Amino acid sequence: MIPWTIKFERRLDPPRYLGWLVPVLSVAAALVATAVLLAVFGVNPFETYRAMWDGAFGGLFGGDVYSLSETLVRATPLILAGLAVAVSFKMKFWNIGAEGQLVMGGIAASGVALFLPGAVPGIPQNAVVYGLLMGGAAILAGAAWALVPALLRAYLNVNEIITTLMLNYVAILWYSHLFTSVWNDPQGFGFPGSALFERFTWFPRFFDTRLHFGLVLGLIAAVFVWVLFDRTRFGYEIRLIGDNPEAARFAGVSMFRNIVLVMLVSGGLAGLAGLSEVAGVSHRLQQGLAADNGFTAIIVAWIAKLRPWAVVLVAILLAAVFVGGDQIQISMGLPASVAQVVQGVMLFFVLGGDIFSRYRVRITRTAPAPATEAV
Amino acid sequence: MDLALITSVLAIAVFAGTSLIYATIGEIITERAGILNLGVEGMMIMGAVSAFATAFHTESLWLALLVASAVGGLMALVHAFVTITLRADQIVSGLALTLAGVGLASFLGERLGPDSGPLVGLRGPRFLEVDLPGLANLPVVGEALFQQDPIVYSMYAFVPLVWFWMYRTRPGQQLRAMGESPQTVDAMGIPVLRWRYIYTVVGGVLAGFGGAHLSLAYTPGWSENLTGGRGWIAIALVIFATWRPGRAVLGALLFGGVNAVQFRLQAAGTSISANLLNMAPYLLTIVVLVLISGASPLRHRLGAPAALAVPYAREERT
Amino acid sequence: MVEAGEVAVAIRGLTKKFPGVIANEGVDLTVNRGEIHALLGENGAGKSTLMNCLAGMYAPDEGHIELATGGRPLRTVDIRSPRDASRNGVGMVYQHFKLVPNQTVAENIILGADGVPFVPKMRDIERQVRELAERYGLDVDPTAYIWQLSVGLRQRVEILKLLYRGAEVLILDEPTDVLTPQEADSLGDTMRELAADGKAIIFISHKLGEVLKFSDRVTVLRGGKLVETIETEGADRASLARLMVGREVLFRADRDEQETGDTVMRCRGVAARDDRGLPALSDIEFEVSSGEIVGVAGVTGNGQAELAEVLTGLRKPTSGTIELLGKDVTDASPRRYIDRGVAHVPADRLGMGLAGDLPLTDNFIMKRYRHQPVSTRSFIDPKAVAKMSERYVERFGVKTPSIATPARNLSGGNQQKAILAREIDAGTHAVETPFIVAAYPTRGLDVGAIETVRTALLEERASGAAVLLLSEDLDELFVLADRIMVLYDGRIMGIAPSESLTQEQVGLMMAGEAMAPEASA
């Protein structure tokens, strides 16, 4: 018999500071747990974290912004995809398909960049016009890819977790097919990738780094989602559905309409993440567009508790883990996938830690049996 | 279609379906107890990598199976703790398990080889086909069913065993009740939370075991994304099977069959790109889900255990 | 053999606390063999909690329990789980039945019972169940699935389940709530038979009439404390009510005579199906006018839930028409119903009426978020939301730490006040004479909250609202309703002014007897 019991008492009026304190402590605890895990596999955790920090923010206090800019570049798709996930999760609509929607957005933007100048030469060839065209294409493609599971769920009640996920695989296979064969650069000597886009389709870059306009797009999107959540009827409706679909029905909220709208917004945001990657970083369709951004976005959104401004911060944190992971691969010869392990463990700790903000947890010694104390 | 083709497609279907059957039935058991574990993909891939690493270093296939099962079970234990004791959202916890599992498997795949090097591309021991004396020579079924590896054979015993457990024994009856009405089971003095822990871990053990079949027999060795979404297909199969083990076998064979056809087409040198051909199982999953929902809009809802993914706490007062 | 009249159960100084509430405090209670012991008290008096401690569902914080069961003398027992309780001969029939719907009667009966083999032979068990059923006159088919059975039969299965486990102390929690008066009488016979067999029966109720009719002794609880245990013989309604409530009169009817106005809601030939697609309502025809309360009586599960949903637009009728203020709304969306002044106090507060984890503010604007001043075009104004919320809290006296508190964290009474505030305000905001559907609005509330709810409904009636009140409490219907309508098997058995009806007549209609033609005049 275990000599103590864990008791959970619901907090009647949870203090507000727990809303951020618990996730912060959970992330810290996750770092400690990962350190233990690393030590178990014979890796020095202090050295590893040190190297990761250097990779992600190194030289920052000496005025060198290169590492930081790389981290922000890595954070950009995570912000956009994280917001995409947050929008659908807010309604408890489990869009696991941000990855596929991102890829479709990237494909559509690439299609415009690669073929539109040749097909319709009359369109002014400048960054603004092409930015808008590629953006529109990316949003539409991402939204369309998200619309399929939305309609299946709305009409036929088909489980969206599985359909969105399966469509990821389909999108990734199709995109591989495109850049390895159909859209493969004929002058590329068999290099798996499309031709380089024309210069005018590229996102502007800042500060002589790879930091590009996508980050601005991400911040605008964060403000957009914040307004959506906190200030609109639509945001109210998805919050209501997310908490209690029956209550939403009771309030006259149309489930069908909201499933479709939420997935259009979510898919569109994920599509923008794809645009940002091809127009801001690779400038061609090639390996590495997917890069698990859509999955990491789920971790981002959940650790951020679906709050738009927190999505930005958490995306930067997880991007730092990625960039740091690349660094330790170079400097310590460790696999970069340490990053994914750290992120997965973080999600677990935030998930499990949440109970401390909802309940007062008390561990008490199990009372001895009354029979022994009764006289 | 000639007989030889049917035989070979069936043989590959069974071979390819084995890992799916173990993972699907594991998830059925977990879900019947009322716990949704979307971490099947993560547990399978961890099972696969740990099985191969163990087999490579110890040369013991049986130890490899044991380790893979233990790893799957341990991961499921984490899910159980987070969702049952800490009452976190089961969907997100399952996703976290998959994400962490895929990441950790990839990390281990780079570390567990010789001299802390990668496992990728190494050859290790594998399960070989063993002809079952007497049965192997039967026409069609002999070649399809009885010229397989021992894990496939273990499945022939495992599926009826699970069926017997679920539908003929007392614990099995309690398992079926637990996902429908945990408060009833609790009131009848059966420790719901403890059993949910047990069945969640059992589901994980089976997913790890299924993953081991991939790296020890189906595609021996280790490569990134070895499972290729089979864990997710298993979850779809649970819905397809309406939470019944017998139908899960049918579904798994269907998916194995698609693999087989794909295999044959590629071997025959078709002009369709491998990338497009590889979409087949994923598209099929969607089609299957649409078909079963289209047949009867209520079927999905009626089939699912009523208390699936709902945390259970006795002293909660509202 | 233990003789009747000996003490079977003794609860000593039991205290049970929940966060923010002391459910039981220092309760002492003894129950004898062969006795039907009623546990009487208002909702929230702590009856169920006390019995849940005895049945092992809750662990008491203080005090202990003594039992004389299994042929052994009275001794302290440590009951930590329902299984411990069952092994010590204690069993409970819960208010919400603990049955697995997709398993058979026999399967449900052996669930968790001792002495059943690992691989049960269902034939043998079905035979045993049949024998047991015959012995106590509890006829039910052991091979039937629970979902196929009526509520009355399910209750029999619950009792059989306890008997199969050899229970000597049987606790029944509000067993008559789901029964017609006639079925309740038959349950009374069963209880007497069991008591005659030497069992101790504890019968939880808040209905004075039944307590007087069935029990040998009564223990009254109030506010978690034991008030008194008395012999039923010599007690009467007035004395029990005083003990239960702690003051002279529970509730005075302030329903003044008043003229009714125009018809607000009229339905013609309405039929509807339930969630499983089976017919739940047929040929429903009645109207509710401004300034009147129409009460709906009936045993739970006879179409009340579907009626409330159909009349609020949440369930589409399969035939018939519904008019609101003279306009056909049969095929309109729930949203249109809201806009036509339909207010709905749903039966399931947290299931449908509230979004439990969202703050009160979000719950308050549920019906009005589409309109000024809460929102303009697509945008919601947080200041207007806060202002409206403060107003609701003040007007209905909702006790809450703040308007940002999640609705789930309020007590049941305060949740109900919040819903009422929202619904009444939204209804009167949309039209002058709203149609208010109130489904079991006082269920599970304490005395104070019940008074608030009843007063609010009467006030709305006075100011011209048309109210449809669903209730399982006949006393409540007779006090509040101008007319009473009885539903049985999805049909209207009769509808008549409440002054012209007796409780017995309503009881017969609840059991499926249509009203005699002369009475309905």
Condensed to tens digits (0 to 9), the pLDDT of residues B111-163 reads: 888 887 888 888 888 888 888 887 878 877 788 888 888 888 889 999 999 99
pLDDT at A281: 85
Radius of gyration of chain C measured on its C-alpha atoms: 24
Average pLDDT over residues A139-146: 95
- Residues of chain A with C-beta less than 8 angstroms from the C-beta of C76: 370-371, 374
Separation in Å, CA of C225 to nearest CA in chain A: 22
Burial environment of residue C442 by CB neighbours within 10 A (0 to 12, 13 to 18, 19 or more) = buried
Q: Which of A141-150, B187-196, B269-278 has the highest mean pLDDT?
A: A141-150
Distances (CA, A) of B241 to A139, B10, B29: 36, 20, 12
At residue B164, the pLDDT reads 95
pLDDT tens track for A83-126: 999 999 999 999 999 999 999 999 999 998 888 877 888 888 88
Closest by Cβ to A243, choosing from C348, C357, C382: C357
Q: Which residue has the higher pLDDT, B124 or B66?
A: B66
pLDDT digits over B228-260, tens only?
889 988 998 898 888 899 889 998 998 888 877
Nearest to A112 by CA among A204, A213, A201, A212: A201
| Residues C284 and C269: beta-carbon distance below 8 Å | yes
pLDDT above 50: residue C1: no
Reduced to 3 states (helix: H, G, I; strand: E, B; else coil), residue B312 is coil
What letters, b where the CB count within 10 A reaches 16 and e where it falls short, cover A100-125? bbbbbbbbbbbbbbbebbeeeeeeee
pLDDT digits (tens, 9 = 90+) for C257-302: 788 889 999 999 999 998 777 889 999 999 999 999 999 998 877 8
Name the most confidently modeled range: A97-106, B185-194, C95-104: A97-106
Q: Are strands C342-345 and C75-77 parallel, antiparallel or unpaired?
A: unpaired
B93 neighbourhood in chain A, CB within 8 Å: 348, 351
Q: Which residues in chain C are closer than 8 Å to A235, comparing Cβ atoms?
A: 380
pLDDT at position A368, please?
Answer: 47
The closest alpha carbon to A102, from A145, A61, A67, belongs to A145
Query: What's the token pair of residue A24?
Result: 């912060």
Question: Hey, are the CB atoms on A231 and C382 less than 8 Å from each other?
Answer: yes
Determine the Cα–Cα distance for residues B250 and B25; give it in Å rounded to an integer. 12
A214-266 per-position pLDDT tens digit:
899 999 999 999 999 989 999 999 999 999 999 999 999 988 999 999 999 99
Give percent above pLDDT 70 in chain C: 95
What per-residue confidence (pLDDT) applies to B12? 87
State how far residue C112 is from chain B, nearest Cα, in angstroms: 5
Q: How many CB pairs under 8 A join A and C?
A: 93
Contacts of residue C312, Cβ cutoff 8 Å, sequence gap at least 6: C334, C337, C342, C344, C437
Mean pLDDT of B4-24: 89
Whole-angstrom Cα distance, residue A266 to residue A272?
Answer: 10
Rounded to whole angstroms, how far apart are CA atoms B317 and C19?
9
Considering only A105-114, C209-218, C242-251, which range has the smallest mean pLDDT?
C242-251
Q: Band the pLDDT of C249: cuts 50, 70, 90.
A: very low
Q: Which stretch, A91-95, B141-145, B185-189, C347-351, has highest mean pLDDT?
A: A91-95
Q: Is the pLDDT score of C238 beyond 80?
A: no
Let me know if C383 is exposed, middle or buried by CB neighbors in 10 A (0-12, 13-18, 19+).
Answer: exposed
Greater pLDDT, A218 or B276:
A218
**Parallel, antiparallel or unpaired: strands C62-67 and C7-18:** antiparallel
**Least CB-CB distance to B235: which of A162, A167, A347?**
A162
Map chain A to HEC letters.
Answer: CCCEEEEEEECCCCCCCHHHHHHHHHHHHHHHHHHHHHHHCCCCHHHHHHHHHHHHHCCHHHCCCHHHHHHHHHHHHHHHHHHHHHHHHHCCCCCCCHHHHHHHHHHHHHHHHHHHHHHCCCCCCCHHHHHHHHHHHHHHHHHHHHHHHHHHHHHHCCCHHHHHHHHHHHHHHHHHHHHHHHCCCCCCCCCCECCCCCHHHCCCECCCCCCECHHHHHHHHHHHHHHHHHHEHHHHHHHHHHHCHHHHHHCCCCHHHHHHHHHHHHHHHHHHHHHHHHHHHHCCCECCCCCCHHHHHHHHHHHCCCCHHHHHHHHHHHHHHHHHHHHHHHHHCCCCCHHHHHHHHHHHHHHHHCHHHHEEEEEEECCCCHHHHCC
Q: Is the dihedral of CA C296, C300, C302, C305 positive or negative?
A: positive
What pairs with residue B116 in β-bridges? none
Mean pLDDT across C324-328:
92
Strand pairing of C279-289 and C263-273?
antiparallel
Q: Specify the pLDDT at position A356.
A: 82
Nearest to residue C272, comparing CAs of C304, C302, C310, C300? C310
DSSP string, B291-304: HHHHH-TTHHHHHS
The model's confidence at residue C483, banded by pLDDT at 50, 70 and 90, is very high
Confidence (pLDDT) at C510: 85
Smallest CA–CA distance, residue C130 to chain A, in Å, is: 38
- Option in B174, B187, B315 nearest C82 (CB): B187
- Per the model's pLDDT, the better-predicted residue between B288 and C288 turns out to be C288
Residue-level pLDDT at C254 = 64
> Which residues on chain C are in Cβ contact (under 8 Å) with B301?
none
Residue C51 has pLDDT above 90, yes or no: yes
Q: What pLDDT, on the 0 to 100 scale, is given for residue A369?
A: 43
Task: Say which amino acid occupies C184.
Answer: A
Q: What is the ipTM of this complex?
A: 0.83
Contact assignment for C78 to A249 by CB distance below 8 Å: no
Instruction: Write the CB contacts of B263 (distance below 8 Å, at least 6 apart in sequence).
Output: B12
Q: What pLDDT sits at residue C361?
A: 92
DSSP-derived pairing of the beta strands C75-77 and C62-67: antiparallel
Q: Which residues in A lie closer than 8 A to residue B96 (C-beta atoms)? A: 299, 302, 344, 347-348, 351
Where residue A334 falls among pLDDT bands split at 50, 70, 90? confident
Residue (of C36, C24, C34, C97) closest to C65 by Cα position:
C24
Contact A8/B313, CB-based, under 8 Å?
Answer: yes
pLDDT band at A5 (very low <50, low <70, confident <90, very high): low
**pLDDT for the residue numbered A85:** 95
C2 reaches A (C-beta below 8 A): no
Instruction: Write out chain B residues lying below 8 Å of A170, CB-based.
Output: 279, 282-283
pLDDT (average), residues A34-43: 83
Nearest CA in chain B to C85: B189
Q: Under 8 Å CB-to-CB from B262, ≥6 apart: which residues?
A: B277, B278, B280, B281
* B-chain residue closest to C79, CA distance: B189
- Predicted local distance difference test score (pLDDT) of residue C169: 95
What's the pLDDT at B301?
44
User: What average pLDDT score do residues B39-67 get?
Assistant: 94
Residue A294 amino acid letter: G
Residue B299 pLDDT class (50, 70, 90 cuts): very low
Q: Given B100, B286, B290, which is nearest A344 (Cβ)?
A: B100
How far are the Cα atoms of A171, A173, B277 from residue B273, in angstroms, in the given order? Answer: 15, 10, 6
The pLDDT assigned to A3 comes to: 60
Say yes or no to pLDDT of C251 above 70. Answer: no
A244 to C362: CB separation less than 8 angstroms, yes or no: no
State the Cα–Cα distance between residues B180 and C98, nearest whole angstrom: 11
Q: Does C411 touch chain A (CB under 8 A)?
A: no
Cβ contacts of B191 on chain C, cutoff 8 Å: 81
Residues belonging to chain C:
521
Residue A282's contacts (CB-CB under 8 Å, 6 or more residues apart) are A288, A289
Contact C362 A236 (CB under 8 A): yes
Q: Cβ contact (<8 Å) for B318 and C85?
A: no
Residue C282 or residue C71, greater confidence:
C282
CB of A251 within 8 Å of any CB in chain C? yes
Among A278, A329, A320, which residue's Cα sits nearest to residue A300? A320
With an 8 Å Cβ cutoff, are C78 and A370 in contact?
Answer: yes
Is B183 in contact with B311 (CB distance < 8 Å)?
no
- Given a cut of 50, is residue C456 above it in pLDDT? yes
For residue C373, whether the previous peptide bond is cis, meaning omega lies within 30 degrees of 0, is yes
Contact: C100, B184; criterion CB under 8 Å: yes
**Cβ contact A323:A211 at 8 Å:** no
What are the phi and psi torsion angles at C296 (to 5°)? -115, 115
Cβ neighbours of residue A326 closer than 8 Å, sequence gap 6 or more = A55, A336, A339
The answer to whether C247 touches C227, Cβ cutoff 8 Å, is: no
The helix (H) or strand (E) run that includes residue B254 is helix B245-267
Report the gap between the CA of C408 and the closest CA in chain B (Å): 7
Shortest Cα distance from A351 to chain B (angstroms)? 6
Partnered with residue B234 across adjacent β-strands are none
Nearest chain A residue to B110, by CA: A335
pLDDT at res. A366: 58
Which whole number is the average pLDDT over C179-203?
Answer: 88
What are the CA-CA distances from residue B104 to residues A23, A80, B110 (Å)?
Answer: 23, 25, 10
- Our CA-based measurement puts residue C364 at a distance from the nearest CA of chain A, in whole angstroms, of 11
Check if the beta carbon of residue B49 is closer than 8 Å to that of residue B112.
yes
- Alpha-carbon gap: A341 to the closest alpha carbon of chain B (Å): 5
Candidates B45, B75, B82, B95, partner chain A, best to mutate (most A CBs within 10 A): B95
Here the tokens at position A274 are: 């794809």
Q: How many CB atoms lie within 10 A of CB C300?
A: 14
Judged by CB atoms closer than 8 Å, whether chains meet at A370 and C369 is answered as no
Question: How do the residues of chain C divide into helix, strand and coil, expressed in percent and rounded to 5?
Answer: 35, 25, 40
DSSP B222: -
Q: What are phi and psi of C278, to 5 degrees?
A: -90, 150
Mean pLDDT score across all residues of chain C: 87
CB-based contacts of B75: which residues, under 8 Å, 6+ apart?
A: B39, B42, B43, B46, B97, B101, B204, B208
User: Is pLDDT above 90 for C484?
Assistant: yes
Q: Which residue has the higher pLDDT, C148 or B171?
A: B171
Higher per-residue pLDDT: C521 or B313 = B313
Q: Highest mean pLDDT: which of A66-80, B63-77, B111-125, C444-458? A: B63-77
Cβ separation A252–C344 shorter than 8 A:
no
What average pLDDT does range C473-477 have in this prediction? 84
Range of weakest confidence among B272-276, C220-224, C336-340: B272-276
For residue A177, list chain B residues with Cβ-Cβ distance below 8 A.
273, 275-276
- Angle at which helices B280-295 and A127-156 cross, to 10°: 40
Q: Which residue of C367, C382, C409 is in closest CB contact with A251?
A: C367
Give me the residue from C56, C112, C408 closest to B190, CB to CB: C112
Looking at residue C320, the DSSP 8-state letter turns out to be E
Chains that touch C (3 or more CB pairs under 8 A): A, B
Mean pLDDT of C186-209: 89
Q: Encode pLDDT of C312-324 as tens digits.
A: 999 999 999 999 9
Interfacial residues of C (vs B; Cβ cutoff 8 Å): 18, 21, 55-58, 81-86, 92, 94, 96, 98-103, 107-108, 110-113, 116-120, 277, 350, 356, 408, 412
Closest by CA position to B158, among listed B57, B222, B92, B248: B248
Identify the residue with better confidence: C142 or B294.
C142
* Yes or no, beta carbons of B88 and A351 under 8 Å apart: yes
> Would you say C183 and C23 are in contact if contact means Cβ atoms under 8 Å apart?
no
Q: Number of C-alpha atoms within 13 angstroms, CB side, residue A320?
A: 17
The answer, for C365 touching chain A at a CB cutoff of 8 Å, is yes
Token pair in block for residue C376:
């303009």
Q: Mind telling me how many Å the CA of A236 is from chain C's nearest CA?
A: 8
Mutate to test the interface with A, among B37, B41, B71, B99 (most CBs of A within 10 A): B99
Q: How far is B219 from chain C (nearest CA, A)?
A: 40
Say if B304 is an interface residue toward chain C (CB within 8 Å). no
Per-residue pLDDT at C20? 66
Put simply, whether B317 touches C (Cβ < 8 Å) is yes
Min distance B192 CA to chain A CA atoms (Å): 16
CA distance C467 to A326: 68
Interface-testing mutation among A157, A243, A354, with chain C (most C C-beta atoms within 10 A): A243
The pLDDT confidence band at residue C80, using thresholds 50, 70 and 90, is confident
Higher pLDDT, B247 or A17: B247
What is the rounded average pLDDT of the residues A350-365? 79
Q: How far apart are CA C296 and CA C47, in angstroms?
A: 28
In angstroms, the separation between the Cα of residue C374 and the nearest Cα of chain A is 10
For residue A222, CA distances in Å to A228, A237, A311, B102 come to 10, 19, 8, 29
